[in-house]
Amino acid sequence: MKWFYDLKIATKLIVSFGAVLLLTLVLGVSNMMSMNRVNQASTDLAENWMPSVRAVLELRATVGDMRRWELAHLLNEDAAQMADYEKRMDDTLIILKKTRDTYEKLISSPEEKVVAADFDKGFQAFMVDHAKMIELSRANKKVEARDVASGTSAKALGVINEAVNKLVKLNVDGGDAASDAASEIYSSARMTSIVLLAINIGIGMVLAMWVAKIVAAPLQEAVSLARNVADGDLTLSIDVKSACETGQLMQALKDMTGNLQNLVSQVRHGTDTIATASSEIASGNQDLSSRTEQQASSLEETASSMEELTSTVKQNADNARQANQLAQSASGIALKGGDVVGQVVGTMASINESSRKIVDIISVIDGIAFQTNILALNAAVEAARAGEQGRGFAVVASEVRNLAHRSAAAAKDIKLLISDSVEKVENGSVLVNQAGETMNEIVTSITRVTDIMSEITSASVEQSAGIEQVNTAIVQMDQVTQQNAALVEEAAAAAESMQDQAAQLSQVVSVFKLLASAQASAPRPAAPRKPSVPKAVVASVKAPAAARPALKKPVKETVGGDEWEAF
């Protein structure tokens, strides 16, 4: 199994899960085959045996209906009633033949076919006697017809019923057999699924525990080695036992331990370089002095730009106030325009109301005209008559005059409403003219606002130029300030921590346990010397450095310091 231990962890997991998935596939295929067999049995039961039972029972019921209509025909002497029964028997015979044809397609065994043939023979004999009975019954030979019904016809009916009973039993037995077969298939499939599932779970658990062990054990060993290295023990002997990721991890730990041994040895050899920090501090202070002068010049430029910017901002503020006043005036004028438009809307609503009234009056006139036409027609008919009936003409004429008066009144109302609508339209025109004048005033005000906004734009251009100068000066000042702050903190931190670092460096490195050869080759650390920093220069830059909160951290927390603390 050495080859398996050398596989990658991903490959080990894939192989393990592949085995489990293969067993799951076997279980699924087995279940699918069992389900297919159960489906076939249930399909046979639903599409063969049950429809067959249903068709046979329907044949029995149809033959019973035929017998009932026959007896009713024999007991009745009314020709119309007998004709009705004959029609029912014909319809029943059609249904019986269709049912027999349907059942023919469902026959599935030789025995069932033989019984079906017996049914057909009995039915043929029954139909021969049926024709005789109906013919005798039509001739009012009821006694002879009853003899046929109780004789040969009854025997044929017995044969039919016996065949139907056999067919029902055959199909019920077949359905029971199909149901038993489905139950047996289900029980077998259930047991097979349980066995395969148990095997799948067992193999899966064994594979999971085995893979977890061969993966976790090397990781635990690697964790133990990493803790020893974290405690400073670099004398460990690490054996690499496999070529997988865990073996690669152990090899990486082995390489890291060797590199740490070399690194610590080099650190012990390099402690004498700390003494050179004093000269670097002096050089940094000189650079700080020159950059402070540059910062002062940039601040002067910033002050000049800020004065120009202030003047421009004031001018923009005055223009903005004037624009605000004009905007308020324009708002009032717009409100007036809104009121005028509201009045126009009201006037138009009144016109609309008058128009509706006109429509109503016109409708009345139309109705009156219609009635007038009818009355006139009646008057013409009355006039055409002679004698005493001529007096009705006077009544019709009177009604026509009344309707004419109503039409005149409606016409007068229409005239008044139209006049009123014209007057309101004129008023609406006046209001619209006022709205137009108001809108002209708004346009004038907006023109003035546009002129002022142009002045604001010009001032904004000047303001932008001034702000650009300020930004340039601020950028220069920020760069110089950042550099000065870094130099100030480097100088201060170096002056305060140089001695501590020189003393603590050997203690920090001494935490690591090295091989005897590495310890013998490590020299003693050199004593650091305190640099001489000019007091005047440091004092001149501490004040501006303290004014900026976002300064760099002391040298103890710089990248170099992080490297020391990482050990």
- To 10 degrees, what angle do helices 152-230 and 142-150 make? 50
Domains of the chain: 2-211 (1.20.120.30), 296-483 (1.10.287.2610)
pTM over 0.85: no
**Residues sharing a CB contact under 8 Å with residue 498, sequence separation 6 or more, in sequence order:** 274, 277, 278, 528, 530, 531
Q: What is the largest CA-CA distance in the chain?
A: 163
**Phi-psi region at 422: left, alpha or beta (left = phi > 0; alpha = psi -120 to 50):** alpha
Cβ-in-10-Å burial (0-12, 13-18, 19+) of 247 comes to middle
C-alpha to C-alpha distances, 246 to 214, 284, 496, nearest whole angstrom: 9, 50, 47
Here the tokens at position 468 are 């650009």
The CB density around residue 129, as the number of other CB atoms within 10 Å, is 20
pLDDT tens sequence for the chain (567 residues): 555 656 666 776 777 777 778 878 887 777 777 676 666 666 655 555 667 677 777 777 787 777 788 777 778 777 888 888 788 888 888 888 887 777 777 666 677 777 777 777 877 887 887 778 878 878 787 788 788 777 887 787 777 778 777 877 777 777 677 677 777 777 777 788 788 888 878 887 887 787 777 777 777 777 777 777 777 776 766 776 666 776 777 778 777 777 777 777 777 676 656 656 656 665 666 676 677 667 666 766 776 766 676 677 667 767 766 766 776 676 677 667 667 666 766 776 677 677 667 767 777 776 776 677 677 667 666 666 655 665 566 566 666 757 766 776 776 777 677 667 667 766 766 776 676 677 677 767 767 766 776 677 677 667 667 666 776 777 677 677 677 667 766 766 765 676 567 566 666 666 666 666 555 555 554 444 444 444 433 333 333 434 444 434 443 444 334 433 333
**Residues sharing a CB contact under 8 Å with residue 465, sequence separation 6 or more, in sequence order:** none
Here the tokens at position 396 are 């019709």
**491, containing H or E segment:** helix 392-509
